[in-house]
Structure 1
Amino acid sequence: MIKNEPNPQYMAATDRYETMSYPRCGKSGIRLPSLSLGLWQNFGAVDSIQNAQAMLHRAFDLGINHFDLANNYGPPFGSAESTFGQVIAKSLKPYRDELLISSKAGYDMWAGPYGIGGSRKYLVSSCDQSLKRTGLDYFDVFYSHCYDPETPIEETMQALDYIVRSGRALYVGISNYSPIHTKQAIRILKDLGTPLLISQNRYSMFERGIEDGLTEVFAEEGLGSIVFSPLAQGFLTNKYLQGIPEGSRASRSEQIYLNADQISQEKIAKVIELNKLAEQRSQSLAQMAVAWVLSNEAVTSAIIGASKVSQIEDCVAALNCADFSEQELQKINNILAQ
């Protein structure tokens, strides 16, 4: 129906690049916005396309020119890419060369042995499907979404190299790889002549796994780093201080990572203390959590998720107070160690 179609009457804000910062991605020529927008949730077929469009437009107006997708984002699988494709076609197409658009393949996508993993068969087929859903001629970055222990890493990297050489993507990345496998990927891709641009991993105050070896690899190899879930699926906000609100991620039946069982009183106590520190910094807890992630020198960009425009605006405002004193950082570590 016409009422469900995106409104084509959009002109990007003329000052969109004036307040966002754009750190260099490793040793490459690419600069990423400090904040990127992820379409993991709230952009599926079950969601409002008008709201999706409003969030994409507002993000771009605020200088967020990197949009992160994957083949199985939705729900259902593939629908986030289809939604994004509709918005691109209706309003963002004139700005395509200003946008950096990424997608991924690796996790379960379709039935049978060729719809999951790191094989050349799956990665190339999935990339073609993703391009069709988005209506794009190419992706700026295409990722291996996860390491596949049943496929030789050489085959996975050769597939990424082929995706670039065939014009399907400009750069390649990896996501959720260990330090050892990250080093292997870097070496193989370097030998193939398609350097690894970036690594994408989970990182927040509550999930600091990249500090166990990965950040050292990023620094040593000059690799870009983009992190997701800086708000720990919304837990590092004030929304769960009084329980689980209706409509939150923890209340949604399709939620994978954050559920009611993970919201313990121990964690809530830490969130309350972190919220007090955020108030002392004249920030929301979400703003402080985003700023904290970006304070790690190894992090190039943080992917934020949102269900409404105001959440994007709140996260971008975190850049107005992004620095921490040594005392503040120590206090955060003390709270988390309790």
Structure 2
Amino acid sequence: MATAVRDLIDVSRDSLRAQFRRDVLTGLSQKRKAIPARWFYDHRGSELFEEITRLPEYYPTRTETGILMAHATRIGRMVGPRHHVVVEFGAGSATKTPLLLDAIWTAAYVPIDISGEFLRESCAGLAARYPELPIHPVEADFSQPATLPGEVEQHPRLGFFPGSTIGNMEPMAAVDLLRSMRRTLGAGSLLLIGFDRIKAESELVSAYDDAQGVTAAFNLNLAARINGELGGTLPLDALAHRAVWNDDRARIEMHIAATRAIEFEVCGRRFTMAQGETIHTENSHKYDPRSADTLLLAGGWEPLQGFGDADDRFMVILARAIGDEQTA
């Protein structure tokens, strides 16, 4: 049977390369160095993240999977009998996607991810499982509005944003992202989104600084990527992974720390770091139900129903685009 996967829509590969260069140079030039977390995800970074999701310390993936399994039937009823196009933002390996595709009437699947090679691999696996389902992979930065394939325009859309990836963004940037998703999905759309909940500091820190060092390798892979793609000379042996809980901002922070004073170049520009100085690479904000609802409302989405686990570790919320007449 012919594959249902359409050709990869590469909407911005050149611009992604330019943006990576710009973000790295800008971030390293700041007094407090910082690089956006989305640049973790080259092919190797995506592989390492999949390893992280299987670690005993990393509860979000298995907890969210359990929530989706437990509530899939109810989610399907709320989405309704119309065939929806499922648009997954930051699809990665799409391991949770079948739980949603099996629960609703699906017209097509549009995964959007910044790593084209990894996207092809995950789509091939889904195509084998769903040979009749049209799959339209899009290589793009999902934080920007995307133009969806013309073949899906006639169907209502259901956005899927699992994994609490929304937590990687500062609240104002998260609101901007939700508004961007609203523009991408259009009128009559729904959004199923995951939020990690606030919990004990020890549990949070161990989830981002595991005993096997996989998260450290994931974080430090960003430095290796800068060296490989931008002609960087970062001394990898002088860099270390750091994960800390910032209680004031209710977030885990990941940093790359210099273990000694270093000098290096990126794209021909020279930078220095003192011993102990860091590059801030990721935030992972944690939410309670009220703050998650407030964020969604600010981003143009009306929360319809929240789904959680028995230990209140994670939550998945189904929301509707504000101002639409469609009911779920």
Which one has a larger percent strand, Structure 1 or Structure 2? Answer: 2
TM-score by length of structure 2 reads 0.38
TM-score by length of structure 1 reads 0.37
